Structure 1
Amino acid sequence: MAPNYPSGDQVSAAGATVTKPFLLSLLAASIVLLITLKRKRTAASKLPPLPPTPPSWPLIGNLPEVMFHSKPMFRWVHDVMKEMNTDTCLIRLPAGGPTIVPVLDPAIAREMLRKHDASFADRPTSFGSHVISGGYVTAVLGPHNDQWRKMRKVMTSEIVSPARLPFPTRLHKDKLETEFAKFMAMLKQLNISITRCISGKSVDLRIATQHYCGNVMRKMLFGRRFFGEPTSDGGPGPMEVKHVEALFTGLKYLYFSGVSDYLPWLRGWDVDGKEKIVREADKTIKALQNPIIDERIRQWRSGERKEIDDLIDVLVTLKDDVDRKPLLTPQEIKSQAAELMMAVIDNPSNAVEWTMAELINQPDLMAKAVEEIDRVVGKESRLVHESDFGSLHYVKACVREAFRLHPVYPFNVPHVSTCDTVVAGYLIPKGSHALLSRYGLGRNPEVWTDPLKFDPDRHLDGTGDHNSVVLAEHDLRFISFSTGRRGCVAAVLGTCMTTMLLARLLQCFTWAPLEDGKGVIDLAEAKDELFLATPLVAFPKPRLAPHLYPKTN
């Protein structure tokens, strides 16, 4: 029997029956799509514009300029923003990398960290920050999550709370006060005589200031200045030198130092050698610090240690409110100790070195600072104490000016936007890295008159009431200790360390430049960072009676 195929008319009728609804559905879907696209275009046209962008390459954005053509990155960023005549911009990187939004305007910075503080509370990931923080278990470098909240609470309530820091508490006052006596011993090693000036001898103030800050923090954290046997003259030993060098290396490579910080999928390949540098620095820091922490944990758990004497004791003995078990793991204690060392050592030492260099070049300014110290403290009875700080207005103004003009790093620790946010009329896309420029904010000519001049008087109000002279700058016209929920938790400690160090250097010695420099300190910046290109070396001469100097033996 032959197959019963449908006739042509039947096929046409059936096709028409199927095609008509399909075409109607397709037409309806097309209309919906067109309406949706039109709405999206309309909505997009109503969005604020992105910040201005510098010329970039197809697909790879500004990666060549940032990483290869114009080292260091921060100088290229500031140069291109100057050419664009803008206080903020958006720097594009290849797909998979972030957009970068540098900020040079205090008003924009305040809007970010005040009005939109919650939206910029996150941190970027980087190879350096991941390694140094032990996988983001610390209070400064970690993302905005529960672990960060836990460690931030520990820092604010237990480590830098008014109950413990800075001066007049039992736990820290003696350590910070007596450390200066040890500092004198270190200066003696660096060729200062307390009772007479040795002709032809000089002091490297970078070494002196960095190791003073390192000594203070080691004493506060571990209850000791040395990792090995103390040196006979009080100066830094080989292990202390390695420790400080590793800390500054780690700080240098925390963020935006290698291509993998911009292209995370390259991490682990170490294509530019920066990852090895970070790993070696972290290894040195932890190899020196961790054995002390391990031994301290053992002592507390065995009952051998019963009195809290330093910050490691505080961290080890913290208990959970619920089950009274140790609040912090050994990894958290070790990583937080490393972060604390790094957080405090750099800002005070750099500010004091730059301040001394500027004051040596301008003897009239140094004379004003010394006169203030002599008037407040006197020259016959004692050295500067913490209780004098409220009256040392000009000394603090000198430090403020150093923070403004000579920041230790070009950018603040980056903030990451957790959502699309409108700032200063610009749309900052989610995931953008906001870089508040220490370098640009402090030198912004729209904010500061003659911004490249070192002028402490600009920080005095001219009325005789100088109570406003503080080292923190909450209006973000420059950055000393930042602000907001990710602001520096150790600002009070940093303020005290910086003021004490500068005041006593000025009180105890008269300083002069090296003769081969023709009486002038070279104030050139290093090419790839903001330290003095050449460490400050100067001649000191004791200016007080010998009995006022701490004994060094």
Structure 2
Amino acid sequence: MSTIICAILFISLYLLKLFLQRSNAKLPPGPKPMPIFGNIFELGEKPHRSFTRLSEIYGPLISLKLGAITTIVISSSEVAKEMFLKNDQNLCNRTIPDSVKASNHDKLSISWLPVSTKWRNLRKISTVQLLSTQRLDASQSLRQAKVQQLLDYVQECCRNGQSIDIGRAAFTTSLSLLSNTFFSKELAHHSSSASLEFKQLMWCIMEEIGRPNYADYFPILGYIDPFGIRRRLTTYFDKLIGVFQEIICERIRKVKSCTTAATTDVLDTLLKLYKQNELSMEEINHLLVDIFNAGTDTTASTLEWAMAELVKNPKRLAKAQGEIERALGKSGSIIEESDISKLPYLQAIIKETLRLHPPTVFLLPRKADGNFTLYGYVVPKNAQVLVNLWAIGRDPKVWENPDVFLPERFLGCDIDLKGHNFELLPFGAGRRICPGLSLAYRMLNLMLATLLQSHNWKLEDGMNPRDLDMTEKFGITLQKIKPLQLIPLAK
């Protein structure tokens, strides 16, 4: 009898402990939600800034109710570190925006697929066969040629006294590099309007994916696509895939008729995998969409922000040019990738630009696969988790004078961009870190060094650098609302 009483007492105490644990378990703090809509109206036109203001009130981990969706926002490196080191497995999958269901992109994209056999296969192909260090090293001469084209264009504008749209020039160079690497084909040139049309298409895709959408907050609205976002994105995806398919079909025809010389570009690799049934044509199409989206617009916008910050800070511009001159001399020799290691201040400029102006203000949303504890609070199953890179990069607890462009902060420190330093995560961290990190970093340093070495720069119409408009427009990529126009001057 006493054994039964002890067992009942033990079970009662255990149940009481579970009850207390559950009652003490609580969501992160946040603003009180309105009925039905929750905190939707607090997003504003620039959610990254709105969430940063809320984190100043409620702390680095906050919870919001966006319609029917519980959203957890991380705004500090301390919380991000705990998330990636302790809970990356709980958060390895995505919350899928309604927009990316366009053209079944969510079921074919390496960016949005859940961790699965298909995702692992695509990830392995990307990191090992398409964007490996060996392939990047082998294609250095190609990048050098594309940067030389950029330099030729700048010199032509200098001779004619014409201004340059820096973002467009950087986009054209990035697109030209990718199209030659992948297809041995020039998709854009500085003297044509093709790159501008391609850039507009890329921005439309990024803008639609990043646009606040009521179908994400109330999933039932996904059936009717109330604002037409998914319909527009389907059109953009189809247009982009149409460009890729035209190139692919042309290559297949030439291979069959033996009218083309053997190539060793990425398309050859993809078509071999297709013949071996390791990739479907749909997977190839959407893999190309991912890579061209990630490898053009983000690189171009980062270079544009870097040049804008340097023009606003002439002393730092002169310091960077002086470093290049000391490292390479005055011979005018073209910068190569091997020279970048001699330019620590240039690398610091890129890091500082990525801190102040991360190419994506939020890492792509994660989804909680189950309840877990983060920073002492409960993250409930199916919650959407956002990492606010914009807030982390401007955290006054981590960065001295966080709103000031100060590349010197990165000199003599070992902070890198590989996802190990959680105060600087422009490419993410953990198992879903961006596979194109190395290519983007190489291109950014090489293009910026080339622009700084070759010419001096001034704003149009005698504008004072202090008056340069640095306002951003919100999308998945954070871009300057007013394109940066600069006039190159001979040194």
- With structure 1 as the length reference, what TM-score do the two structures score? 0.81
How many angstroms does 1:469 deviate by? 6.4
Q: Counterpart amino acid of 2:141?
A: D
How many angstroms does 1:279 deviate by? 2.3
> 1:180 maps to what in 2?
147
Q: Cα–Cα, structure 1 residues 376 and 263, in superposed 2: closer, same or farther, change >3 Å? A: same
Deviations 1:192-243 (A, max 9, x none): 14xx4x44x311112111221121111112211227xxxxxx4253443222
In 1, distance between residues paired with 2:217 and 2:258? Answer: 48
Which of 298, 319, 331 in structure 1 is aligned with 2:282?
331
> Secondary structure at the residue paired with 1:267?
helix
Which of 112, 118, 122 in structure 1 is aligned with 2:93?
122
Which of 34, 46, 50 in structure 2 is aligned with 1:72?
46
Deviations 1:65-119 (A, max 9, x none): 34xxx333333322222233x1110111334xx3111111101111111221111
Q: Does 1:164 align with 2:135?
A: yes
Q: Does 1:499 align with 2:445?
A: yes
* Number of equivalences: 478
Q: Is the 8 A contact 1:176 1:216 kept in 2?
A: yes
Q: Cα–Cα, structure 1 residues 187 and 269, in superposed 2: closer, same or farther, change >3 Å? A: farther
> 1:28 maps to what in 2?
none
> 1:61 maps to what in 2?
38
> 1:296 maps to what in 2?
251
Q: Cα–Cα, structure 1 residues 290 and 471, in superposed 2: closer, same or farther, change >3 Å? A: same
Q: Which sits farther off after the overlay, 416-425 or 510-519?
A: 510-519
Q: Is the 8 A contact 2:370 2:382 kept in 1?
A: yes
How many angstroms does 1:40 deviate by? 5.9
> 2:481 maps to what in 1?
533
Deviations 1:161-194 (A, max 9, x none): 22212xx31xx22221111122234446xx614x
Which of 246, 266, 281 in structure 2 is aligned with 1:311?
266
- Identity, in percent, stands at 25
Query: Quick check: which has more Rg, 1 or 2?
Result: 1
> 2:427 maps to what in 1?
481
> 1:518 maps to what in 2?
464
> Secondary structure at the residue paired with 2:308?
helix
> Secondary structure at the residue paired with 2:182?
helix
Q: Cα–Cα, structure 1 residues 298 and 266, in superposed 2: closer, same or farther, change >3 Å? A: farther
Structure 2 counterparts to residues 92-107 of structure 1, below 5 A: 92-95=65-68, 98-107=69-78
How many angstroms does 1:272 deviate by? 2.0
Q: Does 1:287 align with 2:287?
A: no
Deviations 1:528-552 (A, max 9, x none): 4542231111111133xxxxxxxxx
Q: Is the 8 A contact 1:129 1:136 kept in 2?
A: no
> Secondary structure at the residue paired with 1:410?
coil
In 2, distance between residues paired with 1:256 and 1:113? Answer: 26
> 2:9 maps to what in 1?
none
> Secondary structure at the residue paired with 1:275?
helix
How many angstroms does 1:505 deviate by? 0.3
Q: Is the 8 A contact 2:355 2:424 kept in 1?
A: yes
Structure 2 counterparts to residues 380-529 of structure 1, below 5 A: 380-461=331-412, 468=414, 470-472=416-418, 474-528=420-474
In 1, distance between residues paired with 2:464 and 2:20? Answer: 67
Q: Cα–Cα, structure 1 residues 162 and 498, in superposed 2: closer, same or farther, change >3 Å? A: same
> 2:6 maps to what in 1?
none
Q: Cα–Cα, structure 1 residues 306 and 538, in superposed 2: closer, same or farther, change >3 Å? A: closer
Q: Is the 8 A contact 1:460 1:469 kept in 2?
A: no
> 1:192 maps to what in 2?
157
> Secondary structure at the residue paired with 2:298?
helix
> 2:305 maps to what in 1?
354
In 2, distance between residues paired with 1:408 and 1:132? Answer: 25
Q: Cα–Cα, structure 1 residues 280 and 145, in superposed 2: closer, same or farther, change >3 Å? A: same
> Secondary structure at the residue paired with 1:435?
strand
Which of 357, 363, 379 in structure 1 is aligned with 2:330?
379
Q: Cα–Cα, structure 1 residues 519 and 484, in superposed 2: closer, same or farther, change >3 Å? A: closer
In 2, distance between residues paired with 1:157 and 1:503? Answer: 28
Q: Cα–Cα, structure 1 residues 528 and 342, in superposed 2: closer, same or farther, change >3 Å? A: closer
> Secondary structure at the residue paired with 2:65?
coil
In 2, distance between residues paired with 1:533 and 1:255? Answer: 16
Q: Cα–Cα, structure 1 residues 361 and 65, in superposed 2: closer, same or farther, change >3 Å? A: closer
Q: Cα–Cα, structure 1 residues 132 and 372, in superposed 2: closer, same or farther, change >3 Å? A: farther
Q: Does 1:258 align with 2:235?
A: no
How many angstroms does 1:63 deviate by? 3.0
In 2, distance between residues paired with 1:135 and 1:293? Answer: 22
> 1:5 maps to what in 2?
none
Q: Does 1:50 align with 2:11?
A: no
How many angstroms does 1:35 deviate by? 10
Q: Cα–Cα, structure 1 residues 248 and 132, in superposed 2: closer, same or farther, change >3 Å? A: farther
Q: Is the 8 A contact 2:184 2:265 kept in 1?
A: yes
CA root-mean-square deviation: 2.5
How many angstroms does 1:431 deviate by? 1.2
Which of 141, 163, 171 in structure 2 is aligned with 1:210?
171
Q: Counterpart amino acid of 2:168?
A: I
Q: Counterpart amino acid of 2:351?
A: R
Q: Cα–Cα, structure 1 residues 486 and 256, in superposed 2: closer, same or farther, change >3 Å? A: farther
Deviations 1:133-167 (A, max 9, x none): 634223222122222111111111211122212xx
Q: Cα–Cα, structure 1 residues 353 and 156, in superposed 2: closer, same or farther, change >3 Å? A: same
Q: Counterpart amino acid of 2:48?
A: F
Q: Counterpart amino acid of 2:60?
A: D
Q: Which runs of 5+ in 1 are unaligned?
A: 1-33, 228-233, 544-553
Q: Which sits farther off after the overlay, 251-260 or 121-130?
A: 251-260
In 2, distance between residues paired with 1:176 and 1:297? Answer: 26
> Secondary structure at the residue paired with 2:382?
coil
How many angstroms does 1:478 deviate by? 2.4
In 1, distance between residues paired with 2:191 and 2:222? Answer: 36
How many angstroms does 1:304 deviate by? 6.0
Which of 65, 73, 83 in structure 1 is aligned with 2:57?
83
> Secondary structure at the residue paired with 2:73?
strand
How many angstroms does 1:62 deviate by? 1.7
Q: Is the 8 A contact 1:474 1:483 kept in 2?
A: yes
Q: Counterpart amino acid of 1:123?
A: R
In 2, distance between residues paired with 1:303 and 1:374? Answer: 49
User: Which structure's residues are more often helix, by fraction?
Assistant: 2
How many angstroms does 1:254 deviate by? 2.2
Greater RCO, CA 8 A, separation 6+: 2
> Secondary structure at the residue paired with 2:458?
strand
How many angstroms does 1:483 deviate by? 1.3
